[in-house]
């Protein structure tokens, strides 16, 4: 049994392909769309009150550094292997099939949970906006199944997921155009918060700066790394990018840089306006403006949060559908998931299956206790990709690299150290849940994936694409 069989760069194992229509600006906008959302509009308050206090800025810097080091490693892989699948595909080339499956199955969990959690957050903001106009949904339709609260299904969450799924099914270029408009709106709203809020900052609110010590800062960083997850989703679009060797690194690194700067400034202003112990609310940014009696601005912020989480949801579901497409095309999942629509060139089956599954989770299952699972899987993927860069530098130095990670092996080593350190800050419940999910994945692999893998075929299609070494 060959569990370490590897894919060859440039060899196609399927005739299906996607339409290359995205440029560097599209990717940057997709990245910003995926990153700025739940992290800045929801997690800032929770992380400040529970973990870091005013030192939240340090949590974002630590998480940002971990992601920056990982992004440099992702960029080398993306320029070398411009195919869908992100960390899954990279691991298939660097480590072999069993490790690729583990990474792919890990990312299925992360994208699915992240999408469901974002949809639930979107629902909360949307219901708050409706309440401002005196509109209240029946209690049974306002939240996930909970007999004690009388809720049966989170209807707004289900509806926004189905709307986003429909948009994604229309074609990636159309989705990117919609996303770009939404990104401009929400970045403008974030800048509005900064411009209005900076005049109300009270430096006294930054004291004590580190109320829970450095352990609190580190725990906060492990939580807010979720806020950076979106740059990974950019790499899943590799097969739909024009000149991926150049545009993918530009898109990922630019998006990460823009968002890190915005996170740091918002954290400073937020904790400067409101004492950190008051920030454990579902809408901390809007709450801060209400706290200083800027209610009209708070209304704009609420709208911006809804817009922001819509784009995050779009990119998370985009990444999930491309991941299903890539794994299916390799034979490890049923081949129907890699079917591509002739007109839109979109993996239509995986897009709608993603939408249905995510809507079921968001509509019926409370996900608050599972939020950390998104972070642990993300960090695991980042660390694995970083190791893969070093491995391929040794085993395949001949491969064409449009972008090279600088200072190898120092940068990959720093990425691994940061990621593993942050993983160790997460709870035992999170680790147990993570291992249970991976165990389920291994059962599926040995019962279906190994037998149906395309690498079992002796003569894969040898036509090569532009990434051929």
- Cα–Cα distance between 36 and 304 in angstroms, integer? 11
- Cα–Cα distance between 206 and 58 in angstroms, integer? 13
- pLDDT at position 347, please? 87
- Cα–Cα distance between 175 and 302 in angstroms, integer? 23
Tell me if 31 sits within 8 A of 254, measured CB to CB. Answer: yes
Q: Is the bond leading into 409 cis (omega within 30 degrees of zero)?
A: yes
- pLDDT at position 461, please? 47
Residues of 139-177 as b/e, b for ≥16 C-beta within 10 angstroms? eebbbbeeeeeebbbbbbbbbbbeebbebbbebbeebbe
Instruction: Classify domain 24-456 at the CATH class level.
Output: mainly alpha
Neighbours of 399 (CB within 10 A): 17
Q: How many residues does the chain have?
A: 469
CA torsion sign for 314, 320, 323, 324 is negative
- Cα–Cα distance between 139 and 149 in angstroms, integer? 8
Please tell me what DSSP assigns to residue 41.
I
Q: Quick one: how many helices (H) and strands (E) in the chain?
A: 18, 0
Question: Comparing 466 with 329, which gets the higher pLDDT?
Answer: 329
- pLDDT at position 467, please? 39
Whose CA is closest to 399, among 185, 245, 183? 245
Question: Comparing 459 with 289, which gets the higher pLDDT?
Answer: 289
- pLDDT at position 389, please? 94
Question: Comparing 345 with 122, which gets the higher pLDDT?
Answer: 122
Q: Place 205 in a pLDDT band, splitting at 50, 70 and 90.
A: very high
**Residue 336 pLDDT more than 70?**
yes
Question: Comparing 132 with 173, which gets the higher pLDDT?
Answer: 132
Q: Whole-angstrom distance between the N-terminal and C-terminal Cα of the chain?
A: 28
- pLDDT at position 469, please? 34
Condensed to tens digits (0 to 9), the pLDDT of residues 114-163 reads 888 888 878 877 887 887 788 999 999 988 888 888 889 999 999 999 99
Task: Please state whether the predicted TM-score (pTM) of the whole model is above 0.75.
Answer: yes
Condensed to tens digits (0 to 9), the pLDDT of residues 377-433 reads 889 989 999 999 999 999 989 888 878 888 999 999 999 999 999 999 888 888 998
- pLDDT at position 371, please? 65
What residue segments make up the domains of the chain, in order of their start? 24-456
Condensed to tens digits (0 to 9), the pLDDT of residues 221-237 reads 988 887 887 777 677 66
Q: Place 468 in a pLDDT band, splitting at 50, 70 and 90.
A: very low
Condensed to tens digits (0 to 9), the pLDDT of residues 79-109 reads 788 776 778 888 998 999 999 999 999 988 8
- Cα–Cα distance between 354 and 40 in angstroms, integer? 25
Find how far residue 342's CA is from the centre of its chain. 28
- pLDDT at position 132, please? 74
What is the arithmetic mean of pLDDT over 191-218?
94
Q: Which residue has the tokens 């990425």?
A: 415
**Residue 175 pLDDT more than 70?**
no
CA torsion sign for 358, 363, 364, 365 is positive
């Amino acid at each position: 049994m060959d569990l370490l069989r590897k894919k060859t760069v440039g060899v196609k194992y399927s005739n299906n392909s996607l339409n290359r229509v995205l440029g560097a600006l599209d990717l940057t906008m997709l990245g910003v769309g995926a990153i700025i959302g739940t992290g800045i509009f929801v997690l800032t308050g929770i992380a400040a009150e529970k973990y870091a206090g005013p030192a939240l800025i340090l949590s974002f810097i630590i998480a940002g550094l971990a992601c920056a080091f990982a992004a440099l490693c992702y960029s080398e892989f993306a320029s070398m292997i411009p195919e869908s699948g992100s960390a899954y595909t990279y691991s298939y080339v660097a480590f072999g099939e069993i490790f690729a499956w583990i990474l792919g199955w890990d990312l299925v969990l992360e994208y699915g949970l992240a999408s469901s959690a974002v949809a639930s957050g979107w629902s909360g903001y949307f219901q708050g906006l409706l309440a401002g106009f005196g509109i209240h949904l029946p209690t049974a339709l306002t939240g996930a199944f909970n007999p004690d609260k009388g809720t049966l299904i989170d209807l707004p969450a289900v509806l926004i997921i189905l709307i986003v799924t429909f948009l994604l099914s229309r074609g990636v270029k159309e989705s990117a155009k919609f996303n770009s408009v939404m990104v401009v709106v929400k970045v403008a709203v974030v800048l509005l918060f900064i411009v209005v809020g900076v005049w109300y900052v009270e430096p006294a609110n930054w004291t004590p700066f580190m109320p829970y010590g450095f352990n609190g800062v580190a725990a906060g960083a492990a939580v807010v790394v979720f806020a950076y997850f979106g740059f990974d989703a950019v790499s899943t679009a590799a097969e739909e990018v024009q000149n991926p060797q150049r545009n993918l690194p530009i898109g990922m690194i630019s998006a990460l840089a823009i968002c890190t700067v915005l996170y740091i400034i918002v954290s400073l202003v937020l904790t400067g306006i409101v004492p950190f112990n008051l920030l454990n609310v579902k809408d901390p940014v809007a709450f801060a403006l209400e706290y200083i009696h800027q209610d009209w601005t708070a209304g704009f912020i609420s709208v911006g949060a809804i817009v922001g989480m819509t784009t995050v949801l779009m990119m998370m579901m985009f990444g999930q559908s491309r991941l299903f497409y890539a794994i299916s095309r390799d034979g490890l999942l049923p081949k129907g998931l890699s079917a591509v629509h002739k007109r839109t060139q979109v993996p239509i089956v995986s897009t709608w299956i993603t939408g249905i599954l995510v809507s079921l989770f968001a509509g019926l299952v409370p996900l608050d206790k599972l939020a950390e699972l998104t972070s642990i899987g993300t960090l695991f993927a980042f660390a694995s990709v970083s190791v893969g860069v070093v491995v391929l530098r040794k085993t395949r130095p001949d491969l064409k690299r449009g972008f090279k990670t600088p200072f190898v092996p120092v940068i990959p080593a720093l990425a691994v150290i940061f990621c593993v350190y942050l993983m160790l800050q997460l709870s035992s419940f999170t680790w147990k849940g993570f291992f249970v999910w991976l165990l389920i994945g291994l059962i599926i692999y040995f019962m279906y994936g190994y037998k149906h893998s395309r690498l079992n075929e002796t003569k894969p299609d040898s036509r090569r694409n532009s990434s051929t070494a």
